[in-house]
């Protein structure tokens, strides 16, 4: 199965401030724009044309680094914008962080499709934090493409119509006789054409009027393409910055350099929740290059808010180089107050889970039919207990950030997934208002959710404020593994009753787990803190079932997962009807619903003579609506598979006396190249529906 759709070349730029879940109203047909309206939407900026889209409720006045230009003292600050230079270069500002999921290319493709620009002329810029300008800017929940789809299409189509009308009025012909194609506007009857570069200069010359407000621009309702007209969306497209990544030219967070910048490493309490009781800085201060030793009293800092945890208590060494900072940290002598966390251990956790499994559930997530009655009629009873351990995120680039706090201003350069959280944390640490905090979003070397939080950036802000200079906080791999936010461990007890043919007639699933919701300040009520959803398997598949927990009910799913998981699994029956034509070894099957999408895997497994399980082949069927870039979608699914193999075969964080035992890849290994399946087959179900999430559901 392949995604339908052709492709040409296109390009454009607009950055939406889409609040997740919001949609711009759609009405059939386009809308003609007068020359006056075109002039109002065309603002000179370096001789180019800027097309901006503001979103209702997000404000229409804001300032952001590189996000707009001023004319005659007026701020130009749309919520999303497209810039076309006089040489035809089209620049798209992307408001969502790029952490390797490919949004810089996918979001550009959406605009480029509707703009009908030459894809070879596309450039992408990363937006800095400005939620008044862009709306929410996080990368998480596989939201980036699905929640930008409507607005970016409209932005590209609006720009296309404006360029067509500018050309038609320049030639004195009807706009109906003109067509945009591959970065040019063509007039069929006369054979004339104008490139977007000259058109942008022509349209912008002498203009000084401000942008229209959101209602004015959105009300134009440009004519949008139908899926059958797509020439770029649905086509395999290389990453716009892939060559820079491969050749090492792209700059990641650790590459950030600011004038007069110092470097800091932090010694954090090895016991979760502990604090500093006292320390001797003399030996650390004697290390050449060490400039200061600073205690981080996180308990004295105001909370950052739900789901935005503070930094840990600790002692930082600030130095002229990373090496000096690390050597200084090694020389510190610290007395820790471990607190009650020192009594925690993995063994104690599992004992508590077993105890809870023998008691009545604290919460009932789902209860269909009569489980006990169905069990008495069952021909056979089966029961199994499964445990999933704590897991660390371990992105290849450890945590880091640069901050510079001066009188009345704070700048942060952070490879983050949620610049809004970084801004909030910086404001809490410094006491500065939001308009005085400037978050510069830099490229992240992976995230997996770890960079959604702002603790590492808050450390940089705290230390810059303390020493009065720019400070880069650098984490080691051990810091990353031992002081992260872990996937919650869980103890699952599954019981089923089978009929004589081996089909399930009753099912009960009990879970006792650690609460990430409570740990992140999101509440600890069992129905709100668990990892079970009332539409998790086997919901709706047979009558008598129960799902219980000693910790939680997640948010209500608005779609019924099994409606699509079953067809997705059926899609794996290929060719002669055999299940993906597997042969030899063992076969595993999985299906899941996540982030509005559905995925199923069939996995061929072998066990060589050395006894090590090896995954030979994975065939996947994916139902994620319209796919903007099949290459990006496949890469996401296959990356999820490799990451999932690490979790299934290797990953485990254990706790002893309140401390994480593992610290680096020697005792917390990743799936290496030898464990990567020799063959991936990813089949994307063809749909003309809107895009849904891809980033996480494959895992």
DSSP 67-85: S---BTTB----SEEEEE-
Residues in the chain, how many?
699
pLDDT tens by residue, 585-598: 777 888 888 888 88
pLDDT tens by residue, 453-494: 999 999 999 999 999 999 999 999 999 999 999 999 999 999
Band of residue 605 on the pLDDT scale cut at 50, 70, 90: confident
Cis peptide bond N-terminal to 538, omega within 30: yes
Here the tokens at position 538 are: 């086997």
Burial call 89-123: b when 16+ CB within 10 Å, e when fewer: bbbbbbbbbbbbbbbbbbbbbbbbbbbbbbbebbb
Q: Integer distance in angstroms from the first to the last C-alpha of the chain? A: 21
Q: Report, as an integer, the average pLDDT of 371-396.
A: 95
Q: Report, as an integer, the average pLDDT of 234-249.
A: 93
**Residue 341: is it exposed, middle or buried by C-beta count within 10 angstroms (0-12/13-18/19+)?**
middle
Which among 299, 295, 308 is positioned nearest to 266, based on CA atoms?
Answer: 295
pLDDT computed for residue 598 by the predictor: 86
- DSSP assignment of 109-141, as one string? HHHHHHHT--GGGEEEEEPPS-HHHHS-----T
Q: With a cut of 70, say whether residue 214 has pLDDT above it.
A: no
Q: With a cut of 70, say whether residue 398 has pLDDT above it.
A: yes
- Tell me which residue has tokens 């040489």: 87
Contact 58, 135 (CB under 8 A): yes
Q: What is the 3-state secondary structure (H, E, C) of 497-553?
A: EECCCCCEEEEEEEEEECCHHHHCCCCCCHHHHCCCCCCCCCCCCCCEEEEEECCCC
How far apart CA 150 and CA 80 sit, in angstroms, is 13
Which among 339, 42, 35 is positioned nearest to 201, based on CA atoms?
Answer: 42
User: 569 or 39: whose pLDDT is higher?
Assistant: 569
Q: Which of 191-200, 292-301, 569-578 has the highest mean pLDDT?
A: 292-301
3-state secondary structure of 456: helix
Q: Which range, of 24-33, 149-158, 327-336, averages the lowest pLDDT?
A: 24-33
User: 133 or 492: whose pLDDT is higher?
Assistant: 492
How far apart CA 59 and CA 42 sit, in angstroms, is 20
Q: Report, as an integer, the average pLDDT of 441-461.
A: 96
Contact 643, 650 (CB under 8 A): no
Band of residue 525 on the pLDDT scale cut at 50, 70, 90: low
Q: Report, as an integer, the average pLDDT of 311-330.
A: 98
Q: Which of 490-494, 521-525, 538-542, 617-621 has the highest mean pLDDT?
A: 490-494
pLDDT computed for residue 150 by the predictor: 85
Q: Report, as an integer, the average pLDDT of 205-216.
A: 42
Which among 121, 61, 128 is positioned nearest to 93, based on CA atoms?
Answer: 128
Q: Report, as an integer, the average pLDDT of 565-586.
A: 55
- Per the prediction, the chain carries an average pLDDT of 81
- DSSP assignment of 202-259, as one string? HHHTT--PPPP-HHHHHTT-PPPPPGGG-SSTTS----TTHHHHHHT-S-BGGG---T
Helix (H) or strand (E) holding 86: none
């Amino acid at each position: 199965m392949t995604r339908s759709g052709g492709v040409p070349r296109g390009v454009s730029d607009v950055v939406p401030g889409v609040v997740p879940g919001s949609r711009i109203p759609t009405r059939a047909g386009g809308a003609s724009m007068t020359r006056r309206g075109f002039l109002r939407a065309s603002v000179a900026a370096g001789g180019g044309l800027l097309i901006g889209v503001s979103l209702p409720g997000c404000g229409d006045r804001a300032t952001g680094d590189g996000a707009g230009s001023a004319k005659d003292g007026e701020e130009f600050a749309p919520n999303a914008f497209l810039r076309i230079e006089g040489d035809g270069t089209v620049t798209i500002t992307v408001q969502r962080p790029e952490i390797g999921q490919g949004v810089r290319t996918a979001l550009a493709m959406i605009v480029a499709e509707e703009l009908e620009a030459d894809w070879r002329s596309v450039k992408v810029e990363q937006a800095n934090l400005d939620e008044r300008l862009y709306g929410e800017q996080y990368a998480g929940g596989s939201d980036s493409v699905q929640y930008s789809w409507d607005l970016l299409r409209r932005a590209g189509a609006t720009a296309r119509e404006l360029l067509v009308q500018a050309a038609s009025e320049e030639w004195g012909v009807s706009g109906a006789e003109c067509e945009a194609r591959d970065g040019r506007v063509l007039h069929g009857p006369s054979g004339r054409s104008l490139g977007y570069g000259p058109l942008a200069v022509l349209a912008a010359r002498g203009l000084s009027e401000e942008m229209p407000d959101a209602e004015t621009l959105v009300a134009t309702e440009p004519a949008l393409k139908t899926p059958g007209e797509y020439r770029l969306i649905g086509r395999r497209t290389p990453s716009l910055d892939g060559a820079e990544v491969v050749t090492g030219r792209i700059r990641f967070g650790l590459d950030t350099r600011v004038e007069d910048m110092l470097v800091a490493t932090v010694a954090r309490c090895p016991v979760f929740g502990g604090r500093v009781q006292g320390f001797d800085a003399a030996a650390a201060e004697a290390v050449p290059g060490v400039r200061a030793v600073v205690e981080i009293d996180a308990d004295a800092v105001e909370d950052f808010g739900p789901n935005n945890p503070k930094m840990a208590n600790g002692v930082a060494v600030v130095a002229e180089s990373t090496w000096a900072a690390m050597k200084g940290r090694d020389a510190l002598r610290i007395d820790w107050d471990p607190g009650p966390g020192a009594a925690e251990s993995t063994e104690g956790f599992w004992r508590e889970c077993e105890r809870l499994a023998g008691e009545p559930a604290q919460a009932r997530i789902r209860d269909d039919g009569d489980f006990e009655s169905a069990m008495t009629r069952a021909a056979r009873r089966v029961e199994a207990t499964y445990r999933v351990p704590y897991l660390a995120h371990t992105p290849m680039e450890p945590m880091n950030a640069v901050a510079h706090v001066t009188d009345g201003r704070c700048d942060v350069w952070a490879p983050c997934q949620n610049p809004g959280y970084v801004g909030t944390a910086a404001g809490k640490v410094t006491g500065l208002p939001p308009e005085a905090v400037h978050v510069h979003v830099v490229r992240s070397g992976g995230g997996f959710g770890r960079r959604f939080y702002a603790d590492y950036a808050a450390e940089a802000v705290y230390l810059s404020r303390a020493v009065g200079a720019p400070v880069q906080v650098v984490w080691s791999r051990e810091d990353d593994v031992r002081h992260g936010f872990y996937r919650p461990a869980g103890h699952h007890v599954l019981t089923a009753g089978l009929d004589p043919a081996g089909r399930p007639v009753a099912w009960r699933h009990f879970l006792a787990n650690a609460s990430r919701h409570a740990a992140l300040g999101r509440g600890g009520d069992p129905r709100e803190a668990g990892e079970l959803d009332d539409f998790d398997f086997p919901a709706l598949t047979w009558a008598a079932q129960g799902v219980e927990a000693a910790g939680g009910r997640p948010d209500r799913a608005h779609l019924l997962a099994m409606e699509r998981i079953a067809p997705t699994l059926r899609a794996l029956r290929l060719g002669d009807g055999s299940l993906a034509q597997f042969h030899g070894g063992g076969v595993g099957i999985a299906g899941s619903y996540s982030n509005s999408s559905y995925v199923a895997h069939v996995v061929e497994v072998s066990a060589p003579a050395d006894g090590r399980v090896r995954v030979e082949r994975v065939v996947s069927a994916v139902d994620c609506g319209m796919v903007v870039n099949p290459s990006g979608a496949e890469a996401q699914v296959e990356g999820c598979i490799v990451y999932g193999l690490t979790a299934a075969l290797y990953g485990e964080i254990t706790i002893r006396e309140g401390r994480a035992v593992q610290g680096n890849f020697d005792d917390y290994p990743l799936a290496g190249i030898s464990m990567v399946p020799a063959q991936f087959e990813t089949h994307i179900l063809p749909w003309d529906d809107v895009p849904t999430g891809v980033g996480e559901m494959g895992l």
